[in-house]
A = this chain, B = another copy of it.
Amino acid sequence: VKNNSRPYNQVTPIPVAVDCIIFGFNENNLELLLIHRGFEPKIGQWSLMGGFVEKNEQLDAAATRVLKELTGLEEIYMEQLRAFGAVNRDSADRVISVAYFALIRKESYNKEQVQAHNAKWHSLDALPEMVFDHKDMVSYAKSTLKNKIQSQPLGFNLLPAKFTLVQLQALYEVILEEKLDKRNFRKKILFHDILEKLNEKDKQHSKKGAYLFKFREDRFKERLNRGLAFSLK
């Protein structure tokens, strides 16, 4: 039996980072939270929020820590995208980075912390130049989000707890990059029976006012258990 395995003590360890693609939604735009780097390398340029993985830290925990460090938020919807491992992706050293995408409510984050990191929201269709391969990460995240949102009820993570169907539709429209028919959209969404219509209207955007809804995760999970899938198709 051949033995091609390199003994562990001959392995060259590599710095591993996590980078967070943080999505937010603002009226009619998808936005990303980017930091203006106050440190080398690439000081003064825009980048995703990131950080190195500690020796005794789970990968997911590192991503959670980094997100919390910037926004103060915990228990946020966040998922790994994939690892990015080009040799020269980071100009300072060989670093492998694992990208995560997070969906947050723009209302809820800690403004001081964001301020302290010199971070700003940028509309997805007017992103500044970003360091390293962060642009690739973002476009990968964008298409992942676009795919996932059609078979998982993720949109609610980007909206306030109470939202109108008008807002929800606008959100789906920017993520899917297409106009949707109002009647058909409402039919599809309401069909799944995972929204609760409140006796309350949002009057900020019209005189008539639009009914507020809230996402009933309990109902969604119950449906899952019964084998009922969510689908926007």
- A residues lining the B interface (CB < 8 Å): 1-6, 8, 11-16, 37-39, 51-60, 62, 69, 80-87, 92-94, 96, 98, 116-118
Closest CB-CB distance, A149 to chain B, in whole Å? 15
In whole Å, how far is A179's beta carbon from the nearest beta carbon of chain B? 18
CA distance A71 to B96 in the complex (A): 26
Q: How many copies does the complex hold?
A: 2
Indicate which residue in B8, B55, B118 contacts A92 across the interface (CB closer than 8 Å).
Answer: B8
Contact of A52 among B6, B83, B93, B118 (CB under 8 A): B6
Q: A112 → chain B, closest Cβ, in Å?
A: 10
B4–A69 touching, CB < 8 Å? yes
A38 to B117, CA, bound (A): 50
Contacting residue for A85 out of B1, B60, B69, B82, CB 8 A: B60
Residue of B nearest to A85 (CB): B59
From A79, which residue of chain B is reached at the shortest CB distance?
A: B82
